[in-house]
Amino acid sequence: MKQVISQFMLSWRQIAIVALLSCSSAQADEYADVSQLVRAGKSSEALNRADQYLATQPKDPQMRFIKGVILRDTGKTNEAIATFTKLTEDYPELPEPYNNLAVLYAGQSQFDKARNALEMAIRTNPSYSTAHENLGDIYAKLASQAYNKALQLDNTNQAVPPKLALIREIFSTSLAKAPRPAATATGNTTAPTTVASAKPPASVAPTPLPTPPVAAPAPKPVVTAPVVPTPAPTPPVVSPPTATTADGAAVANVEAAVAAWARAWSARDVKAYLASYGKDFDTPGSMSRKAWEEERQQRIASKASITVKVDKLSVSINGTHAVAKFLQDYKAGGLAVSSHKTLDFTKVGDHWQIVKETVGN
């Protein structure tokens, strides 16, 4: 879900935390009730209800996340920062609190802190596309500040104004986009979804397309004599192409590769897990392949148990390239996270290997 959550940044987005913790139906009801109060504009009642719940369940990450959103929406920015900061300390493996923390810092023009928070989000989950996009916006804002400072120090430098103008044009375009109000939380009877929020600007209607001119009706031709055309030969009926046996086999092989990857991850078999990734795998950020493998090995080995389930798998084939999309359910100890994932594969010999991994729709 893409949301505009800041007035000064390019496409600042927020992401949902889905099923942060395995919860009972009673817990799900609590999340839904608080979310309903927020949607009804009863922020004070929602905050009181959240505090009552946290008095008995102080470590619950889902309700703490919701509370942070409510605090931000009610203008209690410093308390919201404290809430998300504590969440990052107690659950460092979750990237979403880092992202929300960055949005709050950016709203205070503390761009260095925002950058640090986003870099932590990406380090926690290198496939977190939202944090990558937000980090790009932070770099653009920092560049704007640097160019302004350069002009203050030397206003004769002719190389700076075009660069600064480009940055300003980007931000001007961003503010002209039609933003949508940020949701606070979405109730769900089994796995409630909360969405990080920041104060959105007013909606702007999209620019309507120009209406094409209506052409005047053409005059009717004068028919002098009927002309009977010679009938054209009837074209042959061509049946639509069907999937070949080879394509079906390729799909089955990619599905098997996804299953083997999830199985190795669940078994904490680092060697088999890393072998699922091809030598051309697009490592996140500027990480080297060696650094990425070391980080993955450390993260997998640090978990006492891991369960990875793949659901709603869809595979498309294009020659030696394949794309697998599915819903991933990840559990490690008491933590449970559900997310959409896409794996890009390339066929190497008789094997399909992962060359790109992304999280989100």
Q: What is the per-residue pLDDT across 101-112, written as a single tens digit (0 to 9) for each?
A: 999 998 888 989
- What whole-number percentage of the chain has pLDDT above 90? 29
Q: What phi and psi, each to the nearest 5 degrees, are found at residue 318? A: -140, 90
Distance CA 263, CA 108 (A): 44
Q: What's the rounded Cα separation, in Å, for the pair 62 and 217?
A: 64
Dihedral pair phi/psi, residue 322, rounded to 5°: -140, 150
Residues recorded for the chain: 361
In tens, the pLDDT along 290-337 reads 988 988 888 888 888 899 999 999 999 999 999 999 989 888 866 777
122-to-112, 116, 157, 226, 287 alpha-carbon distances in Å: 15, 10, 36, 75, 11
Indicate the SS3 state at residue 81: helix
- Contact of 285 with 129, CB cutoff 8 Å: no
Model-level pTM?
0.48
For residue 18, what pLDDT is reported? 40
- What sign has the CA pseudo-torsion 322, 354, 288, 9? positive
pLDDT at position 350: 86
- DSSP letter for 205, please: P
pLDDT at position 235 is 53
Would the CA dihedral through 103, 107, 108, 114 be positive or negative?
Answer: positive
Domains of the chain in start order, with CATH, are: 16-195 (1.25.40.10), 245-359 (3.10.450.50)
d(CA 88, CA 79): 14
15 torsion bin: left (phi>0), alpha (psi -120 to 50), beta (else)? beta
Beta carbons of 69 and 81 less than 8 angstroms apart: no
Of the candidates 353, 343, 310, 277, the residue with the CA atom closest to the CA atom of residue 127: 343
Residue 61: CB atoms within 10 Å = 19
Q: What per-residue confidence (pLDDT) applies to 84?
A: 94
In eight-state DSSP terms, residue 234 is P
**What's the token pair of residue 273?**
């897990």
pLDDT confidence of residue 160: 67
Taking the alpha carbons of 119, 125, 129, 130 in that order, is the dihedral positive or negative? negative
Among 183, 179, 223, residue whose Cα is nearest residue 200: 179
What are the 10-residue block averages of pLDDT along the chain, 361 residues in total? 31 40 62 86 91 90 90 91 92 89 90 91 86 86 80 76 66 45 34 36 34 41 42 50 63 92 92 93 84 87 88 92 91 76 92 88 58
* Dihedral (Cα; 140, 144, 147, 149), 10-degree rounding: -130
DSSP state of 9: S
Residue 108 makes CB contacts below 8 A (sequence gap 6+) with 77
Q: Are 76 and 107 in contact (CB under 8 A)?
A: no
Residue 304's pLDDT is what? Answer: 85
Q: What is the DSSP letter of 101?
A: H
Residue ranges of alpha helices (H) inside the chain are 25-39, 43-56, 61-73, 77-90, 96-107, 111-124, 129-153, 160-176, 245-266, 270-275, 289-301
